[in-house]
Amino acid sequence: MSGLTPFIRRMIVKASHRYGIPGRYLAGQEFIESGFNPGAVSSAGAFGISQFIPSTAASYGVKRGTSHGAIKSQIMGQAHLLHDLGFSKNKRLALGNYYGDPNSSYAQSVLDAAKKYIGVGKGINVGGMGGGPQGPSGGVPGTPSKTIPLNPYLDPKYQSYNLMAQLGASANQLPATQQGWQQLANYILSQTPTSKTFPGSPGMKGSKGSDLLAGGKLGGNWKKLVKLAPGADRAGVSTKKVVLKFVAEIARMYGHKLTIGTGTNHSQMTTSGNVSDHWSGHAADIPASGKTLIKLGQIALIAAGMSRKKARKITGGLFNVGGHQIIFNTYQGGDHTDHLHVSAY
């Protein structure tokens, strides 16, 4: 398998959001390194779409192979390493160090290739009432004209047509009719990772019961309420027990076991330049989106000590409550539209 496939494009967008590396540079580097071939192996033993040597791959959780899981790890590792090499401060130096020779022409080759992929990872314009190229009345009927960032993990089964547009770039076009949008939804559904990526994660429909904030729906030992996804923690540093217990309390109130998608295997610095709580094991990300994400966010706020009345009115944002930081359904501090971030000390 090679070429900039829809799945590779989505993983580039995901990595770009997480580590702050513009998608065009990730794509340009992958083109230079392997021609987007996750099965590529160099004479020096470097492997994958972003050509990691085994020792570095082990440090960044990069897996060998062409499965979706392996490809994701290769692209995430690429972005993570570039972040750690200071890409945001000096692109050429970071790229040169990635290659192993800051004085080579490698950096310029990547920068030149990136120009071909300038649209990768950018937001796309969705036309609205004022007219535009995407549809009989300028795009998705009834939606305002705006530019929205790509979010490859929204489940199209439960999104309105304007949110489906966030995934439209994976098909390299935006349909002009309602039937076309439905076809796009079906296409995205077939290509988009589901809860199988993180076994035990909540589905979009939520758990049983009419009131997900009622509390006390799930009993049992806290160890049985929380699961760490493969690769959630980096080698040698585990998510702290205080975080696991806090996530377990959220699971207990929610009535559904929860999976931590990202623990300590996270960039050291946040998008605001602070050391991430993840790095020391004091934070966790729980994959979820849409209504489920909002419900989990509300429950987390209550578990941290916010009143139920106040929490029920909140649909997203960044909050510091009772010694916990809770972020969901917002772009504050990075893209938090596909997961709930919680911290505990």
Structure tokens at 248: 């377990």
User: Scanning the structure block, which residue is given the tokens 């930081």?
Assistant: 325
Query: What CATH architecture does domain 196-343 belong to?
Result: 2-Layer Sandwich (3.30)
Residue 342: closest CA among 291, 301, 295: 301
Name 269's bridge partners: 275
- Give the C-alpha separation, 266 to 60, whole Å: 10
Each as own residue / partner, the long-range contacts of residues 324-331 (CB below 8 Å, 24 or more positions apart, any chain) are 324/246, 324/300, 325/277, 325/283, 326/297, 326/300, 326/301, 328/293, 328/294, 328/296, 328/297, 328/300, 329/293, 329/294, 329/297, 331/149
pLDDT higher than threshold 80 for residue 50: yes
Whether the CB-CB separation of 168 and 151 falls below 8 Å is answered with no
- Give the C-alpha separation, 35 to 166, whole Å: 26
State the average pLDDT over residues 70-92: 91
Does domain 6-117 match CATH 1.10.530.10? yes
Domain range annotation of the chain: 6-117, 124-191, 196-343
pLDDT higher than threshold 70 for residue 143: no
Backbone conformation region of residue 276, classed left if phi is above 0, alpha if psi is from -120 to 50, else beta: beta
Name 321's bridge partners: 324
Banded pLDDT at 14 (limits 50, 70, 90): confident
The per-residue pLDDT for range 196-246, each reduced to its tens digit, is 333 333 333 333 333 333 333 444 577 888 999 888 898 889 999 999 999
Please tell me the pTM assigned to this model: 0.42
What pLDDT does 48 receive?
Answer: 92
Structure tokens at 123: 């937001």
Residue length, the chain? Answer: 345
What pLDDT does 248 receive?
Answer: 92
